[in-house]
Amino acid sequence: MNEKFTIETKSFLLGQKFSFWITLIAILLLNPPLLKRVFVFHRDLGGIVDLKIICGQIFFLVIFILLHFLLPKKLKYLYLSIMSLGLFFFLVELILTAFPLLLGQDFANMVWSQYHDYDDGIYYFDPELKINFMKKNYETTCYFNGYQWKHQTDNRGFRNQENHQQADIALMGDSFVYGHGLEEEETIGHFLEKKSNLSTVNLGFQGSSVFEGCYVLNRFTFLYKPKIICYFFCSNDLRDLERALSPKEMTAFCETPLSKLSFTPSQLVPPKFLSYKMWSFFSQRPYFVKALRLTYRKWQLKDSPIAIKKENSSSLVWLYTFHALKQMKLISEQHHTRFILIPLPLENPHQFEILRRFAEKEEIELIDTREMEGKPHYFLAKDGHFNSLGTEKISEIIWQKLSVD
């Protein structure tokens, strides 16, 4: 009996010493200089890193005090188990945060991407308008598919290095126009301005469809008094539109006459209070749970066939797209501005023909960029967006059209 008691006592004391040193080491490791080196190695997380450090330090400090000074011996066994389990998951979380590529590129995109409306993301979401706006005067480092670039917005929340009061050309569209994976000096806007000597403003942002594009054109574009508006259409605009609006909302838009369409200004400002930072932090975690969900989704999609289907130009998403483009042309004419539709190299060849017929019927200028299709040297490897050669080429095609006319 005494021998058994002695073994239990020794094992408890050994466990207590082990937990003491593990806890002490964890508290020492959770210091701003060290963790900022880990977390900011691939991207700038701003103030959210400080919040992670503070939360971690408080957690381990409370456990440390409870375990070693306040609890009776019987409860120490329970807290020793809880602390060990908590420490294990914390270390897993720390490893996944610092080295998400261990679980593949898709998971790294989930962890490091700034394409979200949390505290450390580039967006803030307006629930009334159902639109993600880029934060104004915001600077950070973005990451996706192995590419990093500097993200910097102007006083209206668009990716421009300076605040434009006026611009000759306004570029509108999604991540291709924004410059996904590229520095500002490699974007379409930069090359077009350089080739044309005309001031150019970049109004593109990732995930934009004609829904967001129509709003931006009506609420922002004419503030710059442009002479030319170039609207870029991409294949994924239709999918983005379906995600943004319900069939009922799209139907209501299509049934509203062009002259009666209205675009309410956003009244929302990005929140900056501590509770929002905490909500952002805990909403993105735990990463190991997200890793399991991502694995499950990939398992579900692994046998799904990817096929190019015949586009139905009478579908609701196309009807919405046509109505929005007609409204863009109408409001541009009212401001004596030239409106040009530019379909980017499309994944579905039927889409270009649909847009070409529509543009011809509605007398909308269209620039053909199909000469870039099937030429991988114009695109980022393992990503699909333009590289700097692609953005320079597309700006060259546009300027050839503009200079001739």
Summarised one tens digit per residue, pLDDT across range 155-192 is 999 999 999 999 999 999 999 999 999 999 999 999 99
Distance CA 78, CA 327 (A): 66
Q: How many CA atoms lie within 13 A of 304 on its CB side?
A: 8
287 — pLDDT class (breaks 50, 70, 90): confident
Listed range (89-93, 209-213, 300-304, 381-385) with the worst mean pLDDT? 300-304
349 — pLDDT class (breaks 50, 70, 90): confident
For residue 95, pLDDT beyond 70:
yes
Of the two residues 282 and 34, the one the predictor is more confident about is: 282
Predicted TM-score (pTM) of the model is 0.80
Assess contact for 386 and 369: CB atoms under 8 A.
no
- Give the pLDDT mean for 76-100: 73
Letter for the amino acid at 405?
D
- Which pLDDT belongs to residue 180? 97
How much of the chain exceeds pLDDT 70, in percent? Answer: 72
- Which pLDDT belongs to residue 117? 86
Q: Domains in the chain, ordered, with CATH?
A: 2-98 (no CATH), 110-280+302-404 (3.40.50.1110)
- Which pLDDT belongs to residue 76? 60
Residue reference for tokens 């369409």: 261
Structure tokens of 93? 């979380």
Q: What is the CA radius of gyration of the chain?
A: 27
Residue reference for tokens 């126009």: 177
Residue reference for tokens 């330090």: 57
- Which pLDDT belongs to residue 281? 61
Sequence-distant (≥ 6) Cβ neighbours of residue 137 within 8 angstroms: 153, 154, 155
- Residue 81 CA: distances (Å) to CA of 19, 23, 60, 64, 165: 10, 13, 14, 13, 62
- Which pLDDT belongs to residue 350? 87
13 — pLDDT class (breaks 50, 70, 90): low
- Which pLDDT belongs to residue 330? 96
Structure tokens of 247? 């069939």
- Which pLDDT belongs to residue 289? 76
Residue reference for tokens 């908590």: 86
For residue 243, pLDDT beyond 60:
yes
Torsional sign, CA 95, 97, 101, 105: positive
How much of the chain exceeds pLDDT 90, in percent? Answer: 52
Express each pLDDT in 14-69 by its tens digit: 555 655 666 566 655 555 555 544 544 444 444 444 555 566 666 666 766 666 66
Pairing of strands 365-366, 123-126: unpaired
For residue 83, pLDDT beyond 70:
no
- Give the pLDDT mean for 352-357: 94
Q: At what angle do helices 73-98 and 2-29 cross, to 10 degrees?
A: 40
Q: At what angle do helices 32-39 and 73-98 cross, to 10 degrees?
A: 40
Distance CA 369, CA 346 (A): 9
Express each pLDDT in 370-394 by its tens digit: 999 889 999 999 999 999 999 999 9
Sequence-distant (≥ 6) Cβ neighbours of residue 66 within 8 angstroms: 79
- Which pLDDT belongs to residue 41? 41
When the pLDDT of each residue in the chain is averaged and rounded to a whole number, the result is 82
**Phi, psi at 345, each rounded to 5°:** -50, 115
- Which pLDDT belongs to residue 63? 64
Assess contact for 141 and 43: CB atoms under 8 A.
yes
